[in-house]
Structure formats: structure tokens, C-alpha cells
Structure 1
Amino acid sequence: MYREAVVANGQMFANFDKYLSMRDLYFPYVGQYNHLGGNKNHLILYVDGELSYLDRGWEKKFSYKKDALITDIKAVNYDLGIELNINDMIHKYMPVYIRKIKIKNMRETKRDVKIFFYHDFRLNETAIGNTALYHPDLKGVVHYRESTYLFISICPEISEYTINKKENSSIFEVEKGKLSFNPIARGDIDSAVSYNVSLDGKGEEEFYYHIVAGHSFDDLEEKLIKLRADTTEHFVEETEIYWKAWLNERKEIKRSISDDIKDLYDRSLLIIKAHMDKNGAIIASADSSIFHRFNKDHYAYSWPRDNSFIVMALDRAGYGHATKRFFEFSVKTLTKKGYFLQKYLPDGSFGSSWHPWIDVKGNPQLPIQEDETALVIWALFSHYQETKDVEFIDRIYNQLVRPAAYFMMNYRDKKTGLPKPSYDPWEERRGVGTYTCSTVYAGLISASKLAHLTGNLDEAKKFKEVSEEVREGILKHLYDEKEGRFIRMLYRDSSGKLKKDKVVDASLLAVFFTGLLPADDYRVVNTVNAIKEKLWINEGIQGLARFENDDYHRLNDKYPGNPWIITTMWLADWYIAMDKIDEALELLNWVTERQSQAGLLAEQYNPETGDPISVTPLTWSHAGFCYTVQNLNKKLYEMGL
């Protein structure tokens, strides 16, 4: 089940499903560790003796408060005569999750209502050795394991609570409408708390539910002293003010661009910000619903590729101060040999991988996607173009640019001048790809310009010369005259014979968006025409697939694959460069039609129904949309429109 809303603050992150249940809770990093892992933290009502889960009989509308990463959710049950208005948020800098609830009685008669909050935590991603207890001094329930502590309370106060082993689950007590005040349990456990209220006819009441994260009882107590001294109302107020101020820093988008596009642009910036850890990692998605469909893994990793596209969009939006941390994270994660590995956890450790370190014959090979190394350097030069912060560039040049550039310069075939084999952007096949080679060209050109900025003139000349060799190699070996377009890659078969992979792939648009060739070059135009012919989905919701016969979550053989946001936006970028504004607007509007109620974008979509597939939200999807809006904005200024 995909996610309907997210809230975060750089060290704490929460996801919610369509039943208002919290499904993912990360702390102390955004993306690490998930203390729910998809388990439901239910919200359950007991109205005049009648139990009501929010998955039955409730009409729900998801949105966010304007210009803030604070949910604005309405849930109505006409049979019960109850309305809920909910605001979820995480404090602007403290790991304090707050759910503000206003409950309304829609009937003329008095009602007795119990609102239960059920917790199914797996602290540090395990059910082993968890403990939960009622803490009389703190006046709430504490779940803890090792140095992870979660404190649960209600303001003004908890009415009832219980803590149990899962074999005697707390949900059984919830379903009976009364909690037993059991004070402690350990192992595989759960808990529940309630707030009990009597509502007069047409009456309403407002209260707050909290989860405070910390590393010890003392740590929790210090946070609670501040929360209670400042008041929850103040925490809510200052968090909303912060988000509005943060979003107000963005650069202006032209008024001639529609409100629908601008609204999703603003929402996308906030969603991107939510996925940024305070230490610099940017996770692809915190949606753990992919776990059981993705070989018991997930997307809560920091991919240098995704992150590069993301920070370029943020830099161009005016958030250069925020993206610095990503480049500092890159310094930390770059190997001493000058390349990035596949993906990283938010603490900087190497993430899970499926790329082998030997080939089919047992020979050593680098398990890398070289575009990830190249794109970080390209993104860094883009960062400089937007910020003009040469001091920052000078500070990290020796640690990041120089080793990465020398790696790209040396990891090449001497005969062709092209990079040696690595994995493609979709992480599925290994070879010498047009996309990857184009990004290496962009990375080396950027390294040359950064070297010149920092006074390393010999290196600037050297990197530029090599970039031209790569460019010449691409045009000579990866453009197929017979096909009249670029091919996906060169690879060697099991016998060692060099082969051409002629599958049409949307990533071939890199020959344009990396600056290798202008948009109107005949070789680019021919390639784009092939992409549109083979990958555009003409039926259903339309959109652009990744490549021919893409099997990842593929609906059926009728379609080349599912439509993706990022590929569709790459095509829109080309339309903009070609001054085809109407075609680009059509694709941007296609994206706005794909957003969820609250403005979230998935990785890909069912081509027939338009339902989200894979994870929601995907940070790169939001960044791709923002980048295209920025391209359109720039083009409209140039055209005087």
C-alpha cells in the first residue's frame, strides 16, 4: 500500500497510509532506522460502544496545509456521525512528532467517544529485546531498545493505556473498548493509549498526540521539559512558520505558468526537503511497502545518481545552502580510488547491492555505475553556477573533484577513448552505455571548469582534453549510422565478442541533457523520434516508459513498460529546448494529473488505471518535475512570455 503523506525534519521521518495509520517511522536518520517497517500504528475509534477502524465507512481527504510540510486531513463517517480533522507534523528541529486532532460530533445528541492509538513498533528494525513501560513521572508510555527511546503521550493526558506481548495483543483490548493499564512488557510487544471524551450535541474537542524520540530516559525528559514549557501549541505554530519561511526562499516562477503546475512545484520542493537527512544523504523513498516486492529490501538509500539530479533541482530553486551537505556527504562516501559505489545508507555506510565484483569468468570487475561518479561532479559545477560559492568549491576540490576526475580519466578503453564497462542507470545491465558515457563527458567538462576555478590549470586542460576524447568516442562508436540513432550500449557476450545493444532506452536522452550535443542536432532528433515511437504509451494514461520490454512491475506485454515521471520529464526537457512549449506543457500537466490527493508522485504508474506502482513518493520524480518546470521558466523568460 503506497503512502498518502509524509512529514519529516532531517532526523525523524514518518509515512502514513490511506487509513491514517503511520506505517514508517525513521530515527535518528531520515531513512535509517525504520522502527515500524510497514507495521500499522492504528488510529481506532469507539463511539457509543461501537468500534470503528478507519479502513471501513470513512471518507477521507488528504492534503497539506498551504506552503507547509504539515498534513491537513479530513475523515468523516456519516453512519457514526463523527468528523475528524487531523494535522500531522514533526517539529522543525526536535524529533517530536505531533498529531493534532479535532473531533466533531455531527449529531444533536451527546456522544461518548474513545480514540485509541495502537503501536506496533520494532525498534532498530527487530522484535527482539524490545521493552515498553508506563512511566509515571513522564506520564506516558516508553518503548525502548538499546539507545532508541520512543515516548508516547497525549495532551491534555492519556485516559487509558496498556502494554502486552503480541500473543496477547493490545489490539484485543482496543476491540473491547477498554484498556487494562498493564504497565510493562518485553520482547515482541505492542501497546495502546486512549483519549476519552464526551461530546455535546454538535460539539467538538481538540487534543494532541505525541511521539518524542530520544536516546535515554534523561534525553526524553529534557525534551519533554521543553515541549511542556513551550507548549504543544507553540511547537505547532513555530513549525508552520518555519516551513512557510523555508518555501518562501525559492526563486520566483513566472505567473504565466499555471497554478496547478506551480502548486505541485512548491509541494515537490517540500517533499524533497523531507527526504534530506541533516547529515547530507537524500533517500530515494521511505515507503517500505516495496519491501516484500523488492527481495526484502527497500528504497531508503542514498543513490549518488538520484541525489545529483535532486540537488541540481534544489540549487536552481534557490536552496544552495541546503545542498552543501550532500556534497560533504559525497566527500565522506567517495572511495579512495575516486568512484562511488552503488548506494549508501544515511549514516554513510555502503548499502546493499546486487552488482558482483567478478564477471562470469571469475575475473575482477568494478561493481559500479560510473554515471553516479560523473553526475556528482556535474551537479557540483551546477551548484557553483547557482551559488557562486568558490570558497566551498576550493574547500572540497582536493577531496572530491580531483580523485573523481582522475578516476574518470583513467577508467577508459585506450582504443576507443570511452569509459570501461559499468552498470546502466537502471542498474540492470553492464556495458559501455551511451547514457553513462554522456554523463562522464559532462563530469569531466565540469571537473575541468572546477579545476580552473581553483587555480589547477594543468588539470583543467587535462580533464577538458579527455572529455573531448570521450565525446569523440561516443559519436564514433555509439551512434549507429544504419539505425540512424544512438544505441543503448556496447557489451561483450559470453564468448567475448563485442556486441551492440540496440534496444531503445529513454536514458539515451542524455546525449542532449548532458550537453554532449545540442537538442536540434540530427543525431539527437533521430534518437528522440525512436524513443517516442518505441516508448511512448499511446493508450490508457500515456507517458514514457524506460526502455523496450521493461519488466520491472510491468503490467503486461501490451506495453513497452510502465510510464515513469523522470523519463517523461526528460522528454519534456527536450521539447522545451526545441521551443515546443505546448508539447512540454502537455507533459507537465500529465504529471500534475498523476499526483495523489496530497501531491505525492510515484516512481511509475499503471498505464491503464493510473494507480501508483512501486514507491510513493519517489524523491527523484519530484526533482525531475521541478527541474523541468525550471527549464520551462527559463525558456519563457528568454522568449519574453
Structure 2
Amino acid sequence: MYREAVVANGQMFANFDKYLSMRDLYFPYVGQYNHLSGRKNHLVVSVNGKISYMDNGWERYFSYKKDALITDVKAINRELGIQLQINDMIHKYMPVYIRKIKIKNLSSEKKEIKIFFYHDFCLNETAIGNTALYHPDLNGIVHYREATYLLISIYPEISEYTISKKEESSLKEIEKGQLSFNPIARGDIDSAVAYKTEVDGNGESEFYYYIVAGHSFDDLEEKLIKLRADTTEHFVEETEIFWKAWLNERKEIKRSIDEDIKELYDRSLLIIKAHMDKDGSIIASADSSIFHRFNKDHYAYSWPRDNAFIVMALDRAGYGHATKKFFEFCVRTLTKKGYFLQKYLPDGSFGSSWHPWIDEKGNPQLPIQEDETALVIWALFSHYQETKDVEFIDRIYNQLARPAAYFMMNYRDKKTGLPMESYDPWEEKRGVLTYTSATVFAGLSSASKLAHLTGNIDEAIKFKEVSEEIREGILNHLYDEEEGRFIRMLVKDKNGKLKKDKTVDASLLAVFFTGLLPPDDYRVVNTVKAIKERLWINEGIKGLARFEGDQFHRVNDKYPGNPWIVTTMWLADWYIAMDKIEEATQLLKWAVERKSQAGLLAEQYNPETGDPLSVTPLTWSHAAFCYTVQNLNKKLYEMGI
């Protein structure tokens, strides 16, 4: 079940489904560890003794408070005559999740209302050895395992609570309408708390439910003391002020750009920020619903590729101070040989992978996607262009830019001048890719400029020369005169000879967006023409697929694949570069039409129904949208529109 809303603060992150259930709760990193792993933390309502789950009889409307990472959700049950106004948030710097609920009685008769909160935690991603207990001093339930402690409580008070073995289940007590006050349980457990109130006819009642995360009982107590001293209401107020101030730092977007595009742009910046960990990683998605559909794995990893595109969008939006942590994270994760591995956990450890370290004949091979190394260096120079912070560049050059540049310079085929084989941006095919080669060109060109900035003139010359050799190699070996366009890649046959893979792939747009060739170069124009002819989906919701025959979450064989936000925005970027403003604007509006009620963008969509596929939200989708809006904004300034 896809996510409808997210809240976060750099060390704590929560996801919610369409039934208002918390499904993912990460702490102490954004993306690590998930203490729910997709399990439901239900919200259950009792009105005059009648129990109602959110999936039956409720109208639900999702949005956010304007310019803030605080939800603004409305749930209405007309049969019960009740409305809930819900605001979810995580404090601006403390790991404290707060759900503010305003109950409105829609009838003229007084009602006895009880709101139950059910918890199904698996702390540190395991059901083994969990303990939950009622703590009288903290006035709440504490779930703990190892150094992870979660305190659950209610202001003004918990009316009822229970803790149970999962096989007995606290849900059974909820369904009976009364919790038993059982004070402790261990193992695979669940728990529940309730708030009881009477609401006069057409009246209202308000309360706060909260979860405080920490590493010990003492840690929880210290945080709770501050929460009580400042008040829960103040925590909500100051967090809303913080988000509005943070968003106000962005650079101006022209008034001539449609309001719905600007609104999604602002929301996207907040969604991107939510996926950024305080220590520098940026996760692709915290939506764990992919787990059961994706080889028992998820997207809560930091991919250098995604992140490079993300930080470029953030830097151009005016958040250069926020992206420095990412480059410092890159310093910690770059291998000593100068390349990045496939993906990383937020703590910097190497993530799961499906890329082998030997080929089919048992020969060693690097299981890398070299674009990830190249794009980070390209993004680093882009960071300098936006911030002009030469001191940061001077400090990080030796640790990041230099080793990465030497790797890219040396990891090449001597005959063609092109990079050696690596995996494509979609992590499926291995070969000498046009896309990867173009990103390496951009990476080395950027490394040359960074070397010049830091006084390393000989290296600047050397990196520039190699980038030009790669450029010539691309034009000589990866442009197919017969096809009249660039090909996806060169791959080795059984005899070790290179053969052409002519599959049309949206990532071929890299020959334009990396600066390898101008957008109006005939080779670029021909390639874009093939991409539009072969990958544009003419039926249903339309949009641009990744490549011909894409099988990932495939819906119907009559389509080349499913439409992606990222690929469609790449096409929009080309339109902007060609001064085709109307065409680009239509694609931005296409993306706006794809957003969820609350403004979340998925990775890809069902081409027939428009339903989100894979994960929601995908951070890269939001960044791609922002980057295209920025390109449009810049072009409109240039054109004086």
C-alpha cells in the first residue's frame, strides 16, 4: 500500500498509508532502522461504543499545511457523525513525533468518543526480544530493544492502555472497546493506548498523541521534561514556523510559471528535505511497501546517482548549506580506489547488491555503475557554481574529487578511449554505455575545473584532455550512422568483440544534459526523435518510458514500459533548451497531474490507470521535477518572459 504522507526531521522519519496508519518509523537515521517495516499502527475510533476502523465508512482527505512538513488530514464518518482533523509532524530537531487530533461532533447529540492507537513495532527490524511496559514516571508505554526506546503517550492523559503478546493481540481488546491495563510483555508483542472524551452536540475536543524516541530510559526522561516544559502545543507551533522559514530560503520562481507547478515545486523541496539524514545520506524512498514485491528488499538506501541529481536541484534552489553534508558523506563512502559502490545504508555501510564481482567466465569485474562516481563530481562542481564556496572545495578536493577523477581517467579502454564496462542507470544491463560515458565526460570536465580552482593546474589540464578523449570516443563509437542516432551501449560477445546494443533508452538524453553536445546538434535531435517515437506512451496517461521492453512492474506488453517522472522530466529539459516552452510546460503539468492528494510523486505509474507503481514518494522524482522547473525559470529569465 503506497504512502500518502511523510514527516521527518533528519533523524526520525514516519510514513502513513491512506487509512492514516503509520507504516514506517525510522530512527536514529532517516532510512535506518525501520521499527515498523510496513506493519500497521492503526488508528481506531469508538463512538458511543461502536468500533470503526479507518478502512470502512470514512472519507479521507490528505494534504499538508501550507509551506510546512506537517500534515493536514481530514477524516469524516457521516454515519457516526464525527470528523477528525489530524496534523502529523516531527519536531524540528528532537526525535518526537506528534499527532494532533481535533474531534468534531457533526450531530446535535452529545457523544462518548474513544480514540485507540494500536502499535505493532518490531524494534531494530526484528520481533525477537522486544519488551513493552507501562512506565509510571513517564506516564506512557515504552517499547525497547537494545539501544532503541520509544515512549508512547497522550496529552492531556492516557485514558486506557494495554500490552499483549501478538497471538493474543491488543486489537482484540480494542474491538471489545476496553483496554485491560496489562503493564508488560516481551517477545513478539503489540500494545495500545486510548483517549476518551465526551463531545457536546456540534462541539469539539482536542488532544495530542506522541512518540518520543531515545536510547535509554534516562534519555526519554530528559526529552519528556523538555516536551512538558515547552508544551506539546509549542512544539507544533515552533516546528511549523521552522518549516515556513526553511522554505522561505528558496530562490524566487517567476510569477509567470503556473501556480500549480510552483505549488508542487515547493512541496517537492520539503519532500526532498524529509529524505535527508542529518549525517549526509539521502535515501531514495522510505516506502517499505516495495519489500514484498522487490526481492525482500526496499529503497531506503543512499544511491550516489540519485543523490547527485537531488543535490544539484537543492543547490540551485538555494540550499547549498544543506548539501555539504552529502559531499562529506561521499568522502566517507568513496572506496580507496576512487569509485562508489552501488548503494549505501544511511550509516555509510555498503547496501545490498545484485551485481556480481565476476563475469560469466569467472573473470573479475567491478560491480559498479560508474555514472554514480562521475555524477557526484559533476554535482560537486555544480555546488561550487551555486555557492562559490571555494574553501569547501579546497578542503574536499583531495578527499573526493581527485581520487574519483584518477579512477575515471584510468578506468578506460585504451583502444576506444571510452570507460570500461559498468552497469546502466537502471541497474540491469552491463556494457560500455552512451549514458555512462557522457556522465564520465561531465565528471572529468568538472574535476578539471575543480582542480583549477584549487591550484592543481597540471591535473586540471590532464583531466580536461581525458574528458575530450572520452567525448571523441563517444562520437566515434557510440553514434550509429546507419541508425542516425546514439545507441544504448557496446557489449562484448562470446569472443570478446564489441557489438552494438541499439535499444532506445531515455538515458541517451545524457548526451545533451551533461553538456557533451548542444541540444540542437543533429545527433542529439535525431536521438531525441527516436526516444519520442519509441518510448512515448500515446495512450492512457501518456509519459515517457525508460527503455524498450522495460519489464520492471510492467503492466502491458503493448507499451514500451511504464511512464517515469524522471525520464519525462529529462525530455522536458531538452524542450526547454530548445526554447520549446509550451511543450516543456505541458510535461510539467503532466507531472502535476500525477501527484497524490498531498503532493507526493511516485517512481513510475500505471500507463492505463495512472496508479502509482513501485514506491511513493521517490526522492529522485521530486528532484527531477524541481530541476526542470529551475531550467524553465532560468530560460524564462533569459527570454524576458
Give the TM-score, by structure 2 length. Answer: 1.00
Q: Name the residue aligned to 1:81.
A: 81
Shift of residue 61, structure 1, vs aligned partner: 0.5
Q: Name the residue aligned to 2:370.
A: 370
User: In the TM superposition, what are the counterparts of 1:291-330 in structure 2 within 5 Å?
Assistant: 291-330=291-330
Q: Name the residue aligned to 2:266.
A: 266
Task: Could you tell me which runs of 5 or more consecutive residues in structure 2 were left unpaired when the two chains were aligned.
Answer: none
Structure 1 stretches of 4+ with a deviation exceeding 2 A read: 493-497
- The superposition leaves residues 167-226 of structure 1 with CA deviations (integer Å, 9 ceiling, x where unpaired) of 110000000000000000000000000000111111110000000000000000000000
- The superposition leaves residues 562-600 of structure 1 with CA deviations (integer Å, 9 ceiling, x where unpaired) of 000000000000000000000000000000000000000
User: In the TM superposition, what are the counterparts of 1:219-258 in structure 2 within 5 Å?
Assistant: 219-258=219-258
Asked if 1:55 is matched to 2:60, the reply is no
Letter in 2 for 1:466: V
Shift of residue 416, structure 1, vs aligned partner: 0.4
Q: Secondary structure at the match of 1:142?
A: strand
Q: Secondary structure at the match of 1:464?
A: helix
Shift of residue 331, structure 1, vs aligned partner: 0.2
Q: Secondary structure at the match of 2:104?
A: strand
Shift of residue 556, structure 1, vs aligned partner: 1.1
- The superposition leaves residues 126-177 of structure 1 with CA deviations (integer Å, 9 ceiling, x where unpaired) of 0000000000011000000000000000000000000000011000000000
Q: Secondary structure at the match of 1:167?
A: coil
Among all aligned residue pairs of Structure 1 and Structure 2, give the percentage whose two residues are the same amino acid.
85
Letter in 2 for 1:297: D
Q: Name the residue aligned to 1:31.
A: 31
Asked if 1:126 is matched to 2:123, the reply is no
User: In the TM superposition, what are the counterparts of 1:617-628 in structure 2 within 5 Å?
Assistant: 617-628=617-628
**RMSD of aligned alpha carbons:** 0.4
Letter in 1 for 2:494: S
User: In the TM superposition, what are the counterparts of 1:5-20 in structure 2 within 5 Å?
Assistant: 5-20=5-20
Task: Give me the whole-angstrom Cα distance separating, in 2, the residues matched to 1:85 and 1:493.
Answer: 62
Task: Give me the whole-angstrom Cα distance separating, in 2, the residues matched to 1:495 and 1:116.
Answer: 67
Task: Give me the whole-angstrom Cα distance separating, in 2, the residues matched to 1:458 and 1:291.
Answer: 49
Letter in 2 for 1:450: L
Shift of residue 428, structure 1, vs aligned partner: 0.2
Q: Name the residue aligned to 2:454.
A: 454
Q: Name the residue aligned to 1:603.
A: 603
Task: Give me the whole-angstrom Cα distance separating, in 2, the residues matched to 1:609 and 1:420.
Answer: 41
Shift of residue 26, structure 1, vs aligned partner: 0.1
Q: Name the residue aligned to 1:198.
A: 198
Q: Name the residue aligned to 1:593.
A: 593
Letter in 2 for 1:30: V
Shift of residue 295, structure 1, vs aligned partner: 0.2
Task: Give me the whole-angstrom Cα distance separating, in 2, the residues matched to 1:558 and 1:432.
Answer: 29
Query: Which stretch of the first structure deviates more once superposed, 487-496 or 362-371?
Result: 487-496
Asked if 1:438 is matched to 2:438, the reply is yes
Shift of residue 427, structure 1, vs aligned partner: 0.3
Shift of residue 495, structure 1, vs aligned partner: 3.5
Task: Give me the whole-angstrom Cα distance separating, in 1, the residues matched to 2:493 and 2:243.
Answer: 53
Task: Give me the whole-angstrom Cα distance separating, in 2, the residues matched to 1:102 and 1:428.
Answer: 48
Q: Name the residue aligned to 1:418.
A: 418
Shift of residue 362, structure 1, vs aligned partner: 0.3
Asked if 1:70 is matched to 2:62, the reply is no
Shift of residue 339, structure 1, vs aligned partner: 0.1
Aligned residues: 641
Q: Secondary structure at the match of 1:201?
A: coil
Q: Name the residue aligned to 1:400.
A: 400
Task: Give me the whole-angstrom Cα distance separating, in 2, the residues matched to 1:559 and 1:495.
Answer: 34
Task: Give me the whole-angstrom Cα distance separating, in 1, the residues matched to 2:108 and 2:416.
Answer: 81
Letter in 1 for 2:149: Y
Shift of residue 53, structure 1, vs aligned partner: 0.1
Shift of residue 524, structure 1, vs aligned partner: 0.1
Q: Name the residue aligned to 2:147.
A: 147
Q: Secondary structure at the match of 2:11?
A: coil
Q: Secondary structure at the match of 2:25?
A: strand
Q: Secondary structure at the match of 1:212?
A: strand
Q: Name the residue aligned to 1:188.
A: 188
- The superposition leaves residues 386-442 of structure 1 with CA deviations (integer Å, 9 ceiling, x where unpaired) of 000000000000000000000000000000000000000000010000000000000
Q: Secondary structure at the match of 2:540?
A: coil
Task: Give me the whole-angstrom Cα distance separating, in 2, the residues matched to 1:625 and 1:493.
Answer: 39
Task: Give me the whole-angstrom Cα distance separating, in 2, the residues matched to 1:328 and 1:390.
Answer: 15
Task: Give me the whole-angstrom Cα distance separating, in 2, the residues matched to 1:426 and 1:114.
Answer: 49
Q: Name the residue aligned to 1:498.
A: 498
Letter in 2 for 1:48: N
Shift of residue 496, structure 1, vs aligned partner: 2.3
Shift of residue 493, structure 1, vs aligned partner: 2.3
Shift of residue 49, structure 1, vs aligned partner: 1.3
Shift of residue 498, structure 1, vs aligned partner: 1.7
Task: Give me the whole-angstrom Cα distance separating, in 2, the residues matched to 1:236 and 1:46.
Answer: 26
Task: Give me the whole-angstrom Cα distance separating, in 2, the residues matched to 1:47 and 1:206.
Answer: 16
Q: Name the residue aligned to 1:167.
A: 167
Q: Secondary structure at the match of 2:51?
A: strand
- The superposition leaves residues 47-74 of structure 1 with CA deviations (integer Å, 9 ceiling, x where unpaired) of 1111100001000100000000000000
Asked if 1:41 is matched to 2:41, the reply is yes
Task: Give me the whole-angstrom Cα distance separating, in 1, the residues matched to 2:499 and 2:159.
Answer: 70
Q: Name the residue aligned to 2:510.
A: 510
User: In the TM superposition, what are the counterparts of 1:334-353 in structure 2 within 5 Å?
Assistant: 334-353=334-353
Letter in 2 for 1:300: A
Task: Give me the whole-angstrom Cα distance separating, in 1, the residues matched to 2:133 and 2:18.
Answer: 30
Letter in 2 for 1:353: S
Task: Give me the whole-angstrom Cα distance separating, in 1, the residues matched to 2:574 and 2:138.
Answer: 58
- The superposition leaves residues 258-298 of structure 1 with CA deviations (integer Å, 9 ceiling, x where unpaired) of 10000000000000000000000000000000000100000
Task: Give me the whole-angstrom Cα distance separating, in 2, the residues matched to 1:174 and 1:77.
Answer: 19
Task: Give me the whole-angstrom Cα distance separating, in 2, the residues matched to 1:60 and 1:137.
Answer: 36
Letter in 2 for 1:276: M
Task: Give me the whole-angstrom Cα distance separating, in 2, the residues matched to 1:153 and 1:413.
Answer: 62
Task: Give me the whole-angstrom Cα distance separating, in 1, the residues matched to 2:44 and 2:30.
Answer: 27
Q: Name the residue aligned to 2:106.
A: 106
Q: Secondary structure at the match of 1:405?
A: helix
Task: Give me the whole-angstrom Cα distance separating, in 2, the residues matched to 1:577 and 1:473.
Answer: 25
Task: Give me the whole-angstrom Cα distance separating, in 2, the residues matched to 1:497 and 1:490.
Answer: 9
Q: Secondary structure at the match of 2:197?
A: strand
Task: Give me the whole-angstrom Cα distance separating, in 1, the residues matched to 2:460 and 2:271.
Answer: 37
Shift of residue 121, structure 1, vs aligned partner: 0.1
Q: Name the residue aligned to 1:389.
A: 389
Letter in 2 for 1:358: I
Asked if 1:476 is matched to 2:456, the reply is no
Give the TM-score, by structure 1 length. Answer: 1.00
Q: Secondary structure at the match of 2:167?
A: helix
- The superposition leaves residues 442-470 of structure 1 with CA deviations (integer Å, 9 ceiling, x where unpaired) of 00000000000000000000000000000
- The superposition leaves residues 327-381 of structure 1 with CA deviations (integer Å, 9 ceiling, x where unpaired) of 0000000000000000000000000000000000000000000000000000000
Task: Give me the whole-angstrom Cα distance separating, in 1, the residues matched to 2:208 and 2:169.
Answer: 25
Shift of residue 319, structure 1, vs aligned partner: 0.1
Letter in 2 for 1:346: P
User: In the TM superposition, what are the counterparts of 1:550-569 in structure 2 within 5 Å?
Assistant: 550-569=550-569
- The superposition leaves residues 473-518 of structure 1 with CA deviations (integer Å, 9 ceiling, x where unpaired) of 0000000000000000000123423210000000000000000000
Q: Name the residue aligned to 1:2.
A: 2
Task: Give me the whole-angstrom Cα distance separating, in 2, the residues matched to 1:92 and 1:85.
Answer: 21
Task: Give me the whole-angstrom Cα distance separating, in 2, the residues matched to 1:133 and 1:296.
Answer: 31
Q: Name the residue aligned to 1:288.
A: 288
